[in-house]
Amino acid sequence: MPVMRMSEKKDLILQYEELQAQILAGRVIFKPPLTAWYILMPLIFIYYFYRLQKYSQSRKDFVHNYMLSRRRALEEVADAVETHRPPDIDSFREFTTVPAEATPQYIAWIRVLVDHYTDLLRCDGTCCEDLIRSAYDGRGNYLLFLNRLNRIEHKLNRALTPGLEVDIPDVMETITLMETQVEQMRRAEAERIFP
């Protein structure tokens, strides 16, 4: 198997993460249903297309926002691995718009992502699943990482929640739905990658 360049591995990981974000968006942002009323009444049908367009944009926005810190962490790790230096995690304090009271949890989450991406980028494979298999050497090790990631994300979400509760109705229900879906996806992913 030919050795992949850093940029190729980075692209594999980025594509994999974006696919996971798109799947998650489909599980937490619901498509408006098309009913007979929409078809029978032209004005209502126009409203349906407006809602459908809004749904589509919401999914794109979700994926974009979900990927912001992940993309930045992956870029930092790739550069650090290539230049043989430790990743600059402290620079994320300046990059983020996270409230000050949630910054410690955000930085802890970034550390987990940085460790994960470092492990993946130091491995070889032809797809992201190969990189994961090589980095974690078994379902048990990968599940330990996923559990650690889930725990730190829960802490980050709880630290961010007080500021969101004022602006977003039902924020806790949305966060709980997202966490539940992410955990289910990750468990299924581990079973698929390590049969």
Write the secondary structure of the chain as one string of H (helix), E (strand) and C (coil).
Answer: CCCCCHHHHHHHHHHHHHHHHHHHHHHHCCCCCCCHHHHHCHHHHHHHHHHHHHHHHHHHHHHHHHHHHHHHHHHHHHHHHHCCCCCCCCHHHHHCCCCHHHHHHHHHHHHHHHHHHHHHHCCCCCCHHHHHHHHHCCHHHHHHHHHHHHHHHHHHHHHHHHHHHHHCCCHHHHHHHHHHHHHHHHHHHHHHHCC
Record the pTM. 0.84
Q: What pLDDT does residue 97 have?
A: 80
* Residue 49's pLDDT band (cuts 50, 70, 90): low
| Per-residue pLDDT tens digits for 85-134 | 999 998 888 877 888 888 999 999 999 999 999 999 999 989 999 999 99
pLDDT for 1? 52
Percent of the chain with pLDDT over 70: 82
pLDDT score recorded for residue 26: 86
81-85: average pLDDT: 93
Predicted pLDDT at 28: 84
Which pLDDT band, with edges at 50, 70 and 90, does 166 fall under? Answer: low
| Mean pLDDT, residues 60-73 taken together | 91
The domain limits of the chain are 6-193
